[in-house]
Amino acid sequence: MGHYDEYKRRVLRITQRLSADGYFGSKSGSAGNVSMLVEDEDAVVVTPTRLRYDVMTVEDICVVGFDLARIEGERKPSIETPMHVATYKVRADVSAVIHTHQTFASALSVLNQPIPPLFDEVTLAIGNTIDVVPYALSGSRELHDNVARKLANRCHCYIIQNHGALCIGTDLDKTFTFVELLEKSATIYMRALATGKPVTVLPAKIVAQLHSEMIARQDREIARKQERHIARIKAVPEAEPSH
């Protein structure tokens, strides 16, 4: 069993589930991408580019370093890999990234319309807003720079203008749930806007409280990673002094 095999299996499982549920925009395409951070390494396990999800295997999943150099895998990694790496560098709480082309979030992307806080359980899970990342060409340096700048709001879901959506989290299963919550919010928001009536949002005091609770969870995850890193350093035996 290879060092990265379990990571690859997890990435493949979530990728094929997202595809089967239609979150990539078409069930026979290859438009979205998924990655997972390798714990204790500056490396990510990520889906390959231009390969249908229904025929993808564990062997097709790629492993690359933060410098984008290939560590394992014969296929070319997703062209959005730099966006994933930029996310991991900026957000220490994040260990999974999912980029989708889900229908209602994508509809809001062409409207350049963020989603305000509508439901308390969604706000507690993903933050106080679903903001819009400014447009840039897929795979470009400008796009992953635009994404990196937006991540400072500490939320877990983003709409990418004229493109799709980005969800990030501490693991793939939680991040899959964020994808679902994003589409729920986008669907209801679009339908509410279509009535022409005012859309009510959560009270500001409640939003601030829920967002703070979410950030506290993130801070605990960051502390866990830091403690693990310190323990790993301490476990390395000191080199014998040279004579």
Residues with catalytic function: 80
Distance, CA of 12 to CA of 16 (rounded, Å): 6
φ, ψ (nearest 5 deg) of residue 201 = -120, 170
Distance, CA of 117 to CA of 128 (rounded, Å): 6
Q: Which of 222, 239, 241 is nearest to 230 (CA)?
A: 222
| 18-25 contacts at long range (C-beta below 8 A, 24 or more positions apart) | 18/53, 18/98, 18/100, 18/176, 18/179, 19/53, 19/54, 22/102, 22/103, 23/100, 23/101, 23/102, 23/179, 23/183, 24/53, 24/100, 24/101, 24/102, 25/100, 25/101, 25/102, 25/103, 25/106, 25/164
Q: Tell me how far CA of residue 166 lies from CA of 104, 133, 143, 202, in angstroms.
A: 13, 9, 12, 23
Q: Which of 15, 59, 40, 64 is nearest to 179 (CA)?
A: 15
